[in-house]
Amino acid sequence: MTDLGTYTKPLAYLGLFTLATTTLSLIRQATIFLRPSTLLKTYNPTRKNWALVTGATDGIGFGFAQELCARGFNVILHGRSVEKLQRRQRELQAEFPDAKLGYVVRNSQHVTADIDGVDAEVGEILGGGKLTVLVNNVGGETRPATLLKEYTFEDVRDTVSRNAMFAIQITRVLTRRLEVDAPGLVLNVSSVAAFGLPYISAYSSSKGFVDSFTKSLRAEFAAEGNAVEVMGLRVAEVSTSGYDVKSNLFVPEARVLAGASLDRVGCGQEVVWAYFWHWVQGLSFDILPRWLMLKFATMKLKAIRTNMEAKAKST
């Protein structure tokens, strides 16, 4: 007969080992938030360098532009409306009189070969200065809470283009410049949706692309010995015009999220939760089984869908 007692000790040691490694990993991750990084300065020691932020006329992108100016960068805004870009540029100039500003116009939903011209436009704005930071922020769902079969050809193309295609193309175009002006930094704004959520499959999979792009480009720069750092930023709910929810502890304002993202620079992770309370929410993805997470996500996205249907009927 087997003595059951012989299993007790190994199991207890295994349990203790698991507990210790989980606790250590959580402490290590939490430290990232306890000690905001100051490494962003590495990319702007002279306070004369430039950052380019895509989708910078609103929401998190405008928050990045404000926070980068506040931290001594000159900033190139990207957007699709000249009028809105000029308005945002004036607002930034009023808040940060010492900052140099410029803008480039491209519609990220319709990426064409003229994206190659961005490098020359950026060169003109820099006037001999250095571009050391690129924030790939532009994105968002074009048709939230929609079944894939309800999308048109254009819906899928626009969502993927806005969230994935534009980021990889503009990064390709600006990479040589970032390498020459190194040390450089590429920040890619991702989403909790990258976990693979229902009712937003085009958006969700585009953000999955962004995460893979972050990891592969980071590995490519490292393999080539280039001093360009790449980091992905995982984001949950943020109060923006594109995502109309009231801010609270778990739903920060856009600028708070942008500031938190810049505080994570140099933390060593490939893809990091930018904001502490998003990280806390994200722990449930590690701990709870996927089927349970999907139950919560489905309830939430179905409720959004019902609301949208009710709104559409009332108009």
**What residues line the site for ligand NAP (CB under 6 A)?**
55-61, 79-81, 84, 107-109, 137-140, 162, 189, 191, 235, 237-238, 240-243, 254
Residue 233 CB, nearest approach to ligand NAP (Å): 8
Quote the tokens at residue 309: 């249907």
Residue 209 CB, nearest approach to ligand NAP (Å): 12
Residue 192 CB, nearest approach to ligand NAP (Å): 6
- Preceding peptide of 183 cis, ω within 30°: yes
Residues 6+ apart with CB under 8 A from 58: 84, 240, 241, 242
Between 96 and 275, CB nearer to ligand NAP: 275
Between 60 and 183, CB nearer to ligand NAP: 60
DSSP designation for 124: H
Residue 250 CB, nearest approach to ligand NAP (Å): 11
User: Distances in Å between the alpha carbon of 268 and those of 38, 42, 107, 157, 185?
Assistant: 13, 14, 32, 33, 13
Residue 306 CB, nearest approach to ligand NAP (Å): 19
Between 84 and 215, CB nearer to ligand NAP: 84
Between 173 and 182, CB nearer to ligand NAP: 173
CA-CA distance, 263 to 187, in Å (whole number)? Answer: 12
Between 61 and 259, CB nearer to ligand NAP: 61
Residue 20 CB, nearest approach to ligand NAP (Å): 33
Quote the tokens at residue 266: 């140099």
Between 69 and 254, CB nearer to ligand NAP: 254
Between 80 and 157, CB nearer to ligand NAP: 80
Residue type, 1: M
Residue 149 CB, nearest approach to ligand NAP (Å): 23
